[in-house]
Amino acid sequence: MYLPKSSGRRTAAAVFLIPSMIGLVVFSLIPMVSSLFFSFTDYDLLAGTMDFIGLDNYTRILSGREFPQVLTHTLTYLGLYLPLILMTSTAQAMVLNRSFRGRGIFRTIFYTPVITSWVAAAVVWTWVLSGKYGLLNQMLDAIGISGPAWLNSQQWAMPGVVIAAIWKDTGYYALMVLAALKSIDPQYYEAASIDGAGGARKFLSITLPLLSPTLFLVVVINIIYGLQVFDSVIIMTNGGPGNATTVFLERIFKYAFKQYKMGMASAYSWILFIMIFALTIVQFRLQKKWVNYDA
């Protein structure tokens, strides 16, 4: 970290940093410390009572029947979402990296979902995934496949939410991958062509290794995002049907703002934080096995 040598510059730097530091302390550090304290209490916001109960909230969550379901549903979402977003964003970036007529229009079309609010997107996808009148099932019927009642089925509700999330998020991550593709030296491909390498060999031996740092970033971001999925679930299914799409943030939201059990909500939040922290450490430990930083 750079520190100015003169006292006048240090004072000026401090003056400019103070507003940001105040915001960091008031809106981040204090709420985090408060939530940690609340997690050890039976804090009922509606009744206005707060009793210290130690680890009871954590014990109740981890030993209850609800937690395995929430964990399973969250990991199911992540397991479906992560590989699909990697494949779709990479494929879209590969297309955008080529020169063809109408590329600007193509970019606009595929980035439009990113700037669309989840409320509007959820309304559209609720109709698209409708079991009887949905566009997706009508397309499946056209090729002889009988589609399920997506959002009303315990088996298909989560895949339906994932499909909507992939549609909305692909454009954002495709731009990240596209930037990495633009940075690859074309001479690598020229040398590979001279050696007789085909398209698949170029992709596997050149493109993927040189994209691995960017793909690693996308993996880290999306594991954190996937464990915190909320908007799509709360708007499209509200945790249903039959609690088939209950996830961590949906539980935290309902404990805090539906049942006013701030202690339970805080405990759920810290369990989620520990999971994210642990998985992030594991990812950074494993990156040496597949991430190539040599250009």
Residue 124 lies in a domain: yes
Return the percentage of the chain with pLDDT > 70, whole number. Answer: 98
Checking if the pLDDT of 30 tops 60, the result is yes
Which helix (H) or strand (E) covers residue 41, if one does?
A: strand 41-44
Of residues 9 and 220, more confidently modeled: 220
Q: Is 49 helix (H, G, I), strand (E, B) or coil?
A: strand
Average pLDDT rounded to a whole number, residues 65-77: 95
Structure confidence at residue 247 as a pLDDT band (50, 70, 90): very high
Structure confidence at residue 13 as a pLDDT band (50, 70, 90): confident
pLDDT tens, position by position, 251-266: 999 999 999 999 999 9
The pLDDT of residue 129 is 93
The pLDDT of residue 104 is 81
The Cα–Cα gap between 232 and 247 comes to: 11
The pLDDT of residue 264 is 95
Residue 144 lies in a domain: yes
Question: In terms of Cα–Cα distance, which of 47, 50, 97, 69 is closest to 210?
Answer: 97
Burial 122-146 (b: 16+ CB within 10 A, else e): beebbebbbeeebebbeeeeeeeee
Residue 101 burial (CB < 10 Å; 0-12/13-18/19+)? exposed
Structure confidence at residue 89 as a pLDDT band (50, 70, 90): very high
Residue 18 lies in a domain: no
Checking if the pLDDT of 137 tops 80, the result is yes
Residue 226 lies in a domain: yes
Could you tell me the residue range of the domain that residue 269 belongs to?
A: 66-290
pTM: 0.90
The pLDDT of residue 2 is 58
Checking if the pLDDT of 270 tops 80, the result is yes
Residue 1 lies in a domain: no
The pLDDT of residue 295 is 60
**Structure tokens given for 162:** 């994932």
The CATH number linked to 162 is 1.10.3720.10
Residue 295 lies in a domain: no
Structure confidence at residue 62 as a pLDDT band (50, 70, 90): very high
Average pLDDT rounded to a whole number, residues 264-273: 96
Give 121-130's long-range contacts (Cβ < 8 A, gap of 24+): 121/164, 121/167, 121/168, 122/164, 122/231, 122/232, 122/235, 122/236, 125/160, 125/163, 125/164, 125/167, 125/236, 126/151, 126/236, 129/160, 129/163, 129/164
Checking if the pLDDT of 140 tops 80, the result is yes
pLDDT tens, position by position, 212-228: 999 999 999 999 999 99
Return the percentage of the chain with pLDDT > 90, whole number. Answer: 67
Mean pLDDT (the chain) is: 91
Residue 143 lies in a domain: yes
Question: In terms of Cα–Cα distance, which of 117, 153, 116, 109 is closest to 134?
Answer: 153
Average pLDDT rounded to a whole number, residues 162-181: 94
Cis peptide before 241 (omega within 30 of 0): yes
Which residue is it, tokens 């804090």?
43
* Structural domain count, the chain: 1
The Cα–Cα gap between 261 and 45 comes to: 7
Question: In terms of Cα–Cα distance, which of 220, 267, 221, 222 is closest to 248?
Answer: 267
Structure confidence at residue 3 as a pLDDT band (50, 70, 90): low
Name residues whose C-beta falls within 8 Å of residue 7's C-beta, 6 or more positions apart in sequence.
none
Eight-state DSSP code of residue 205? I
Of residues 133 and 89, more confidently modeled: 89
Q: How far apart are the first and last CA of the chain?
A: 27
Residue 86 lies in a domain: yes
Checking if the pLDDT of 1 tops 70, the result is no
Helices 135-142 and 118-128 pack at an angle, to 10 degrees, of: 40
